A = this chain, B = another copy of it.
Amino acid sequence: MRVAVLGVGMMGQDHARRLATLTKGAQLVAVSDVDAARTDAVAAELGVRAVHDPAAAIADPEVDAVVIATPGFTHEGLVLEAIAAGKPTLCEKPLTTSPETARAVVEAERALGRPLVQVGFMRRFDAEYEQLRALVASRELGRPLFLHCVHRNATTPPNFNSEMLILDSVVHEVDIARFLLGEEITAITVLTPGRTAHAPEGLQDPQFVLMETASGTLVDVEIFVNTTFGYEVRTELVAERGSAMTGLGVGLVQHSAAGWGGRIAADFKQRFGAAYDTEFQRWVDAVRSGAGVDGPGVWDGYAAAAVCAAGVQSLRTGRRVEVDLGARS
């Protein structure tokens, strides 16, 4: 599957590198950006073609699929071209910048008759949110009553305005609320409490957003994008018989009649699965680069064997056993 990344700003470059070095089964073949110099630089670094016109990249017969990471106002046109060309598309959020144009994309895909466009709401792929969704779906804690959300950023880029707190930031909570609850939002209210002194002139930060769903669940969101430090995203589900919180950094923490707490890894695959993935990727990268090894080598294997053999001797004798490795060859 040959992929072109359209838009190679901060986000697009990140995605291009991900496809080039990490995503199995994909081959990055081209990058495209209206900024020709940037396109050329990224293409050179990653060893792929530079295509200066994104529309040309979509039309290119050597391109099987596209990732759209251009500015939001260009999405509508590019997504519609991709649908017209029948090219599978992963489009960064927002899909488009208005409900009307987004609806038009829905209709274009419907006319095509098959799903072709995926939207980049990446939180749905986060393990904690997946667990929380499964918990909601199981109704183990009963019907959902509240989602309390906190979304905090250190600072905002230049030209960030008050509406972008909704359009660029709260949009993640809009999607995740729909994902977790499995129903649509029916009303929204935005409150504007006192401003932080750390927000740029004219920016209403923080804001407090209340959303209602058809079944009566209330979703509240503290959006605060100039905290001066860190990135904090937290979502607490409150249901009829208990609550569960993501974002404390400890996996899902559940409160119920059984007490508060979390789950313990079932086995080493669950605890160290990601470490195995990393180990293999780094080994393959090392072999391909000629380094041969990127991790513990034979000396480490030998040292471990020597210590363990002494340990077995200690187990048998009940005594302290010294270990002598000899000189390192």
Contact = CB atoms under 8 A, between A and B. Distances in A.
Nearest to A25: B284
Contacts of A90: 279-280, 283
Contacts of A192: 315, 318
A296 B175 contact: yes
Given A122-B272, A146-B208, A170 B231 contact: no
A93 interface: yes
A291 B272 CA distance: 30
B264 A259 contact: yes
Interface in A279-318: 279-288, 291-312, 314-315, 318
A74 interface: no
A190 interface: yes
A307 B174 contact: yes
Given A119-B296, A231-B265, A22 B277 contact: yes
Interface string A72-102: 0000000000000000101101111111011
A154 interface: yes
A24 B284 contact: yes
Interface stretch (A29-37, A53-61, A216-224): A216-224
B232 A265 contact: yes
- Chain A, interface SS category: mixed
Nearest to A268: B231
Interface string A8-52: 000000110011011111100000000000000000000000000
Contact of A312 (B14, B65, B163): B163
Contact of A96 (B211, B255, B285, B301): B301
A253 B264 CA distance: 13
A173 B273 CA distance: 18
A138 interface: no
A72 to B, nearest CB: 10
Interface string A210-234: 1110011110101010011111110
12 contacts: A14-B269, A22-B280, A23-B280, A23-B281, A99-B306, A117-B301, A122-B279, A143-B194, A162-B315, A188-B321, A220-B220, A260-B264
